């Protein structure tokens, strides 16, 4: 499905790579969140439609199962009365309903698989959206801070250059300003900060703890 392909593309999106390529990082980050919100709404709609279709197929299958059962009963009645012709006709009807029920069973399996895929995509996209919102808010703040730092460094360079008036000092201040800007940019574009690495480590430990608890509960109930 094209929708699931778009969702997969959003799930694979690397925020830091996108920032590195963007001319306007803030605009790009806001657009990324907006795209995810729109896709999430579409997936929710498709999940609802898939579930409704699944219920409809289940209803149709059940109806044909019941009809086949009723025609079998009629065939038995006809046989008990010695009406073989009626029995054959009833059995033909029963067989037709059984075939229809079998067809709906296959459609139901396909529909269930599609609904499961959409549900999975919805859960993953919802989680990715929550994470991306938080990440974008942090990166936007870092980007703005980097711009402020850059402007402050340039102003400081001009002031110091006026005060010192020497070529060496002006060069030293220009290098220091460039280093500050590079440090701020590196902080903005770093794949994983020290805080992020520890947060990921704590999250992994939490997940492992939950998994151990789940296994222990399963072992007690087994």
User: How many Å apart are CA 115 and CA 120, to the nearest integer?
Assistant: 9
User: How many Å apart are CA 32 and CA 140, to the nearest integer?
Assistant: 13
Whole-number pLDDT of residue 203: 75
Cβ atoms within 10 Å of 121's Cβ, excluding its own: 22
Residue 67 pLDDT greater than 90, yes or no: yes
91 band by pLDDT with thresholds 50, 70 and 90 = very high
Whole-number pLDDT of residue 66: 96
pLDDT tens per residue across span 48-60: 898 999 999 999 9
User: How many Å apart are CA 133 and CA 1, to the nearest integer?
Assistant: 26
Residue 163 pLDDT greater than 60, yes or no: no
CB 161, CB 169: distance < 8 Å: yes
pLDDT tens per residue across span 177-190: 655 555 555 554 45
Q: What residue spans define the domains of the chain?
A: 2-139, 196-222
Residue 71 pLDDT greater than 80, yes or no: yes
Tell me the whole-structure pTM to 2 decimals.
0.51
């Amino acid at each position: 499905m094209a929708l699931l392909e778009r969702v997969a593309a959003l799930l694979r999106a690397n925020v830091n790579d996108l920032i590195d390529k963007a001319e306007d990082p803030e605009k790009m980050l806001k657009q990324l969140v907006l795209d995810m919100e729109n896709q999430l709404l579409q997936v929710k709609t498709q999940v609802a439609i898939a579930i409704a279709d699944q219920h409809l197929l289940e209803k149709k299958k059940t109806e044909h199962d019941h009809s086949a059962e009723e025609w079998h009963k009629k065939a038995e009645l006809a046989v008990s009365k010695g009406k073989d012709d009626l029995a054959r006709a009833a059995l033909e009807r029963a067989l037709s309903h059984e075939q229809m029920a079998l067809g709906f069973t296959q459609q139901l399996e396909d529909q269930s698989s599609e609904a499961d895929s959409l549900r999975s995509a919805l859960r993953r996209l919802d989680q990715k959206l929550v994470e991306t919102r938080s990440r974008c808010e942090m990166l936007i703040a870092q980007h703005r801070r980097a711009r402020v730092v850059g402007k402050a460094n340039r102003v400081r360079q001009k002031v110091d250059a006026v005060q010192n008036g020497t070529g060496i000092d002006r060069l030293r201040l220009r290098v220091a300003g460039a280093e500050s800007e590079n440090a701020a940019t590196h902080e903005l574009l770093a794949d994983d900060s020290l805080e992020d690495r520890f947060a990921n480590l704590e999250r992994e430990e939490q997940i492992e703890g939950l998994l151990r608890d789940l296994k222990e509960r399963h072992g007690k109930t087994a």
